[in-house]
Amino acid sequence: MEKERFTMLLLDPGEIFFEDYSVQMKVVDNSSTSEEQKWKDGRLKLCSKSLVFVNKDINQSLIKIQLKETIAIDQCQSNNDIAKCGNILLVKCKQYVKMLEKNILAPYKFIHQNATFHFYFYYAKIDDCLPQILQLFRAATLPTAEQNAMIMAIVHSRQSRVSFDTSWLEDLYEQVVLETQANKVLPLVINPGRILLTTSRIYFQPYNNLDQHPVLKIQLKDIVNINKRRFLLSQIGLEIKWLRQPENKLEHLFISLKSQNDRDELYTNLLNQPTVSLERVPQDQMTMRWQNGSLSNYDYLLYINSLADRTFHDLTQYPVMPWILQDYTSTAIDLNDPSIYRDLSKPIGALELNRLERLKERYLEMSEPKFLYGSHYSAPGFVLFYLVRKYPQYMLCLQNGRFDHPDRMFNSVADVWKNVLVNMSDFKELIPEFYDISNGGDFLVNSYGIDFGYRHDGTKIGDVQLPLWANGPVHFVQVLRNALESDYVSQNLHHWIDLIFGYKQRGIEAEKANNVFFHLCYEGAVDLDTIRDINDRHGLEIQIMEFGQIPKQIFTLPHPKRSVFMLNKLHTKTISVSIENEIEDKENPIEKTFKLHELIMFQSHKESVSSIILRSKEEINEVISVGQDGMLKLYSIKNKKLTRNVSLSSLPLSSCVSYYTSSHRNILVAGSWDNTLIFYDIEFGRVIDVLQGHEDAVSCLALSVTRRIIISGSWDCTAKVWQSYTSGTKIKPAECLIAQLDHDAKVTCINISGDETLLVSGTEDGEIFLWNMDTYNLQFTAKVIFTSFSIAHNCKINAMVFDQEGKSIISCAEDKVLNIIDVYTSTQIYRTTIEYEPLTLTWFKSFLLIGDNNGNINVWNRQGAVFITQIRCHDGPINTLSVSIENNIVLTGGRDRKIIVWDCKNV
């Protein structure tokens, strides 16, 4: 029972618990009562900065004697009890602390008077214990930084003298890979021990007996994620997540090691074990999932926090979430009303203009390094400000046994929001618990009945006062979560991500966005390892940790916007992802099924098939194809036979499109290597015009139905926009040419967005051009940039398509890369390499079909940003793909001269 009463949270933050002893204790001062002078059974906890006596009687207080408040420690030479004489520890102190009186969690009682305690050791010998106690006592007389340094030296000395007890190995046949010193880390708590890595498990053995299990054992096959972490501003942390069997419950181990080299060595050895199998989802893929609506805003923010070294196990780097709503006073709230939402493009400190102006005035008067905000948006004190009702023991630990003043506590949501808007030193954001519906807002309720005191108006502190529109904590958190997932937030959340984790976090962009904090809170602002004076170093550590730390910067370019097209699907199909690990929601999994059933296969061209389209009219479905043999072919699906065979050119045909004129004539346009566009009337079966459109081969065609224009790309380094054929007269290039779009290399592919407002073209040298179809002005070009973000290709682009919204461009090239670029920011949002060179792209519903040069269709699921299958179709490259959603048909044409009609009704 006494072990349950004592926790390391009763100590100073980060204090080390070494050992405990079975003892009897009594107070021997004249001022003490007769009851206090009786021997009491219990245990004495030896800690790095204190001695704690845990009375066996759970109704009696725990006594903590801080070593810095101690006058003398020695062996007691005389005692009335002859049986105990010689094995008694004498401790004299100026004050001591009573905790957990009557086993009730409450502010500690500080007894400010001299006291003398005797501790009789039942089993241990005082001669063995006293040297270590005196060593810690001497450390307590030093300045804090030197005391900490001496304590850590003692800890490392103990660690180096002790080896892992191999009798705890689960399997005699598992081989030891690595053994090293490590500290188990929990919020405000550090527990030293040893890590042992074997071929089957990883073990943590603490040096004390405080943990529930003497040795923590984790099977390597159960590990789902391993992350490097910062700890106390140094890259020495490692976080391991595993599924505890048989409950299949996600567990965590956060450890710190002696140095970055030790951490990296353990990390590498862990990953090298064959039984460790981590299914890591690349960052850009997670961003795509979020964009496509497969990942909720809440889960994506948790994921980004994890990337930025934010973890629930370190209060100095706790996950940060934005304030979303700004109405906490109305009796009802409408989440469809944009006016109730906070402006996510601004940091908290810039939301209220009057305060911002005063902050800027102060900023201008400062000497370098300047800062706008003298307080941070996330720090340990702010986290516990919100969580004090759920974790009161953490607040007592952080604030030396005291709660905050009642008027400064988290008493009202409306009051806190008002304060962060107008107070000159309050800029805190929220924490995940505000949006975590699984816990039902339990942090808002004083469920332990803690006596937090009374406010200035006599009101007793109880539960948090919620807005009038909330009918309880569960409803309040649910409304906040719904608001977080709303269309408004989904369309604007990327702005807040830019501020906290992105390109507006630091530098010139941060200054423009009024997002400048004290320089020491930025990662890398100071290299603590270069500071030799331990007092200076300690001062910086305390300042940085108490002030708050800016998350690690994840994005250096503007974050892409969320896809509006997918917002209405958010509540019907999502992937649930924890901050620790990517786990699919079993109730709403990503669609991973895509099957093709071959209906018809025919071979009519004498050379490679270049382009195919499906003609559907009056229940007649015909496949129209052109090939490198210069032939146009029409094939009836119903009758399963070739219906027309026309020679259009003596040179290869590269592409074709078809449209209907105002007189309902079906016109096919074919691009030829003889530099022409050939207009063929399908109804009358004749060539009606040949347009000498280019100075080199026509390589690709695109059609805008609503604008009645045809765009042709050519090896002459141009793309030309033509008015479509409408009359029976001969086409004159000078009269029907609308625009000429110049490029620096041969144009290889073109595509028009679904709303026909944008045109994209790709070239032989890998450059991507985006054009405005209203003005035909160039929006941007994307070239190869040899940085961590290569946003284009360095070789011939084979095909490009827009997504269904026209918000991003998907391209593929000879480099086997599939690349996705955001239209608005011209930044890359996804990039992956395919096994074989991709040649052609087309959409079938939410699936992107990619034909490659090995005859496969690779199916990429937009929702999950994952490849779900590869279907073998042709004996050689697939040159062209076409789909008919209405008919559930996919058409493929290849270099093997085959055209295959596929049924896709299962999708």
DSSP assignment string, 461-491? P-SPBPPTT-SSHHHHHHHHHHHHTSHHHHH
Average pLDDT, the chain: 89
Evaluate whether 159-280 and 317-375+400-569 have a shared fold.
Answer: no
Coil vs helix vs strand at 272: helix
Confidence of residue 787 (pLDDT cuts 50, 70, 90): very low
* Residue-level pLDDT at 279: 74
* Residue-level pLDDT at 173: 85
620 or 158: which carries more pLDDT confidence? Answer: 158
Which residues are CB-neighbours of 110 under 8 A, at least 6 positions away?
A: 95, 97, 401
Q: What is the spatial order of strands in the sheet that 778-782 belongs to?
A: 747-752, 758-763, 768-772, 778-782
Centroid of chain to Cα 849? 28
414 close to 392: Cβ distance less than 8 angstroms: no
CATH architecture of 159-280: Roll (2.30)
426 or 731: which carries more pLDDT confidence? Answer: 426
The residue type of 225 is N
Confidence of residue 591 (pLDDT cuts 50, 70, 90): low
Confidence check: pLDDT of 419 > 60: yes
- The mean pLDDT value for 727-748 works out to 82
Domain boundaries defined on the chain: 2-141, 159-280, 317-375+400-569
144 or 95: which carries more pLDDT confidence? Answer: 95
Confidence check: pLDDT of 891 > 70: yes
Strands (E), 187-319: 189-198, 201-206, 216-219, 223-231, 234-244, 249-256
Coil vs helix vs strand at 296: coil
Whose tokens are 């592919």? That residue is 749
295 close to 573: Cβ distance less than 8 angstroms: no
- The mean pLDDT value for 599-620 works out to 88
Q: How many CB atoms lie within 10 A of CB 728?
A: 11
Question: Would the CA dihedral through 442, 448, 449, 452 be positive or negative?
Answer: negative
412 or 906: which carries more pLDDT confidence? Answer: 412
Q: How many CB atoms lie within 10 A of CB 326?
A: 14
What tens digit of pLDDT does each residue of 303-334 get? 999 999 999 999 999 999 999 999 999 999 99
Integer-rounded Cα radius of gyration of the chain: 35
Confidence check: pLDDT of 622 > 60: yes
Q: How many CB atoms lie within 10 A of CB 885?
A: 12
Confidence check: pLDDT of 1 > 50: no
* Residue-level pLDDT at 32: 64
- The mean pLDDT value for 381-404 works out to 94
Rounded to whole angstroms, the Cα distance separating 63 from 294 reads: 54
Confidence check: pLDDT of 480 > 60: yes
What tens digit of pLDDT does each residue of 87-126 get? 899 999 999 999 999 988 999 999 999 999 999 999 999 9
Percent of the chain residues topping a pLDDT of 70: 92
Q: What is the 3-state secondary structure (H, E, C) of 645-674?
A: EEECCCCCEEEEEEEECCCCCEEEEEEECC
* Residue-level pLDDT at 590: 57
- The mean pLDDT value for 473-484 works out to 97
Q: Exposed, middle or buried, 193 (CB in 10 Å: 0-12/13-18/19+)?
A: buried
Q: Exposed, middle or buried, 380 (CB in 10 Å: 0-12/13-18/19+)?
A: buried
CA 894 to each of CA 605, 646, 883: distance values in angstroms, whole numbers, following the listed order? 10, 19, 15
797 close to 821: Cβ distance less than 8 angstroms: no
821 close to 811: Cβ distance less than 8 angstroms: yes
What tens digit of pLDDT does each residue of 495-507 get? 999 999 999 999 9
Confidence check: pLDDT of 789 > 50: no
Confidence of residue 33 (pLDDT cuts 50, 70, 90): low
The residue type of 320 is V
* Residue-level pLDDT at 583: 37
* Residue-level pLDDT at 274: 93
20 close to 8: Cβ distance less than 8 angstroms: no
Query: pTM of the full predicted structure?
Result: 0.85
- The mean pLDDT value for 161-166 works out to 84
CA 888 to each of CA 816, 891, 904, 906: distance values in angstroms, whole numbers, following the listed order? 28, 10, 5, 9
CA 459 to each of CA 392, 407, 412, 417: distance values in angstroms, whole numbers, following the listed order? 20, 10, 12, 20
What does residue 433 show for φ and ψ, rounded to 5 degrees? Answer: -60, -25
- The mean pLDDT value for 796-811 works out to 92
Pull the structure tokens for residue 107: 């502010």
What tens digit of pLDDT does each residue of 179-226 get? 999 999 999 998 999 999 999 999 999 988 777 778 999 999 999 999
Rounded to whole angstroms, the Cα distance separating 315 from 231 reads: 11
Confidence check: pLDDT of 569 > 70: no
Rounded to whole angstroms, the Cα distance separating 431 from 436 reads: 9
- The mean pLDDT value for 259-277 works out to 94
**What's the DSSP call for residue 68?**
G
User: Which class in CATH covers the domain with range 317-375+400-569?
Assistant: mainly alpha
**What's the DSSP call for residue 696?**
S
SS3 content of the chain, % helix, strand, coil (to 5): 25, 35, 45
768 close to 819: Cβ distance less than 8 angstroms: no
Confidence check: pLDDT of 877 > 70: yes
Confidence check: pLDDT of 578 > 90: no
Coil vs helix vs strand at 97: strand
What does residue 546 show for φ and ψ, rounded to 5 degrees? Answer: -75, -30
Percent of the chain residues topping a pLDDT of 90: 68
* Residue-level pLDDT at 552: 93
* Residue-level pLDDT at 584: 41
Confidence check: pLDDT of 76 > 50: yes
User: Which class in CATH covers the domain with range 2-141?
Assistant: mainly beta
* Residue-level pLDDT at 728: 55
Which range among 585-589, 638-642, 886-890 shows the weakest confidence by mean pLDDT? 585-589
Confidence of residue 52 (pLDDT cuts 50, 70, 90): very high
